[in-house]
Amino acid sequence: MGATVKSSTSVRNGVAQPHAVTQVQRAVITTAPATGATRVDPSQPITVSIAHGTLTSVRMTNPAGKVVTGALGAGRTSWRSSEDLGYGRRYTVAAVGTDAQGHAVTERSSFTTVNPVAQVHATIDRIGGYALTNGATYGVGIVPIVHFDNAITGKAARAAVLKTLSVTTSPHVVGAWAWYGTQDVHFRAQSYWPSGTKVTVAAKVYGKDLGHDVYGSADVQASFTIGRKEIAIAEDNAPKGVDKVRVYRNGTLVRTMNTSMGMHSGTYSGGNYIDFHTMQGTYTVLEHDNPAIMSSQSYGLSPKDPGGYAPEPIYYSTKISTDGIYLHYLDTIYAQDNGIDVSHGCLNLDHPNAVWYFDHSMIGDPVQISGTHGPTIDVAQGGDWSVPWTKWQTGSITGE
C-alpha cells in the first residue's frame, strides 16, 4: 500500500484553509525462507529485505548461538548470508529496521535445514586413484575423475550428480563426463588437451540431493594447466625389426629408444591364464618410481611358478597402467637391440633411455602402443583414451 493523503483544514483570518497531511506507511521486514520452513538447502544464501524503510541490524545464529556471517546491501534495504549452513540445524534470524519517520520495526523468524539420511564425500582424482593436485601442470592426456566414497545408483541419482559437475577451460575445449562403475565419473576431452589450457574441475555437491536422500558433504574443486604436448609412440615390430619408442614433443621427434616388450606368450598359474603380451592402445603416464618394487605376484603369477619372480627394485620406472605396466630400466640390451620381446608386459629400456624418459615425461603424457597382438588396454587399467569418442558420449564407459 502506498502513502496516502488526507485533507484537513485550518483557520486563517477567519477563513478556513484546507491542507494535506501525509500518512507514512509502516516498514515491513521479510525473510526468505519464511519462518517455520523445513528441509532448507544449506548451500543457498538466506536473505532479509525491508519495504518502506531501512535495516539497522540483522543477526542470524545457529543452535549454539554462533553468528552466521552476512552483509547489508547498498541502501540498507537487504541483507544476505555469506557462508554455508550446516545440515539438520535450526537457525534464528532477528532483524531490526526503521521507517521514514524513525519508528522501529522488528522481525524474528526461524527455520530448519535439511537433515540427510546419509552424506557422500567427493574427491577430484586422476587415473590410478591419485589425487589431482591443485595448481599442477599435466600432460595433454590427463583425465580428471570425480570419485565418491559411496555408490551412486540409479539414473535419477546419476543425473543429479552430473548437474553438480563442471569443467571450465580457457580456451574452450570440447569434452564430456562418463560414468565408470558407481563411484567414478571421468572427464575426457574429445581430443588431447591443447597445450597451455587452463582447466578448473568442480563438484558443487553440498546441499544437493544426490539420490535417495543422500547429500554431498562438501564442494570440491581443483585447477591445473596443460603443459607441452609430448606423446610417446611405441611400435612392436618383432620379429620383423627392432621395437622402437619414439617420443614427439610439439610434433617434433626428440628421442628414439630401442625397447623389448611383452613376450608373445603366456602361462597358467593357479588355474588362471597370465598373458605376457603388452596390451595395445593409449596409456598415460601415471607415476614415476625410482625404484618401483615389482613382483610377478602383482599380476597373479606366483614367484614359485616358471617365469615368476620375487619382489625386486626396478629403477627409473615410469608407470603407465594401473596394473603395473612401466617403461623402465632393465639390462636386456641384447633383446632391445635385436627386436626380441622378453618382458612380462613392460617396456624395457637401457639405462640412458630409461633415465631420459623418467626425467622428461610428465604425468598425463600419452603413450600409444601398437603391433603387440595383445588385448587392448581397458578403462580399469587406465585406458580411457582407448574408448571411442562415440562410446564416451553415451555417458557410461562400463555399459551400465
pLDDT confidence tier of residue 237, bands split at 50, 70 and 90: confident
For residue 197, report the phi and psi dihedrals to the nearest 5 degrees.
-65, 135
CATH pick for 28-112 out of 3.50.50.60, 3.40.1410.10, 2.60.40.3780, 1.10.150.20: 2.60.40.3780
Name the CATH architecture for the domain at 230-390.
Beta Barrel (2.40)
Q: Residue 20 pLDDT > 60, yes or no?
A: no
Whole-number percent of the chain with pLDDT over 90:
79
Q: How far apart are CA 160 and CA 88, in angstroms?
A: 21
Query: What integer pLDDT is reported at residue 262 of this predicted model?
Result: 92
**Pairing state of beta strands 15-23 and 4-12?**
antiparallel
CA distances to 56, 57, 99, 106, 349 from 102, rounded to whole Å, are 11, 14, 5, 13, 84
Query: What integer pLDDT is reported at residue 18 of this predicted model?
Result: 58
Average pLDDT value for the chain: 92
Q: Residue 293 pLDDT > 90, yes or no?
A: yes
Cell of 17: 484553509
* Residue 145, beta-bridge partner list: 125, 186
pLDDT confidence tier of residue 103, bands split at 50, 70 and 90: very high
Q: Is the CA virtual torsion 294, 243, 139, 182 positive or negative?
A: negative
Q: What contacts 376, CB < 8 A, 6 or more positions away?
A: 279, 280, 281, 383, 386
List the domain boundaries for the chain.
Answer: 28-112, 118-227, 230-390
Q: How far apart are CA 371 and CA 235, in angstroms?
A: 6
User: What's the rounded mean pLDDT across residues 110-117?
Assistant: 97
Each residue's pLDDT tens digit, 326-351? 999 999 999 999 889 999 999 999 99
Query: What integer pLDDT is reported at residue 384 of this predicted model?
Result: 97
User: What's the rounded mean pLDDT across residues 38-55?
Assistant: 97
Topology agreement, domain 118-227 and domain 230-390: no
b (16+ CB within 10 A) / e for 222-246: bbbebbebbbbbbbbebeeebbbbe
Each residue's pLDDT tens digit, 307-327? 788 889 999 999 999 999 999
- The verdict on whether 346 is a catalytic residue reads yes
20, amino acid identity: A
User: What's the rounded mean pLDDT across residues 33-59?
Assistant: 97
- Quickly name the fold that domain 118-227 has: Immunoglobulin-like (2.60.40)
Q: Which of 328, 351, 360, 373 is catalytic?
A: 328
Between 241 and 316, residue with greater pLDDT: 316
Between 182 and 398, residue with greater pLDDT: 182
User: What's the rounded mean pLDDT across residues 220-231?
Assistant: 98
Q: Which of 147, 346, 360, 373 is catalytic?
A: 346
Distance of CA 36 to the CA centre of its chain: 36
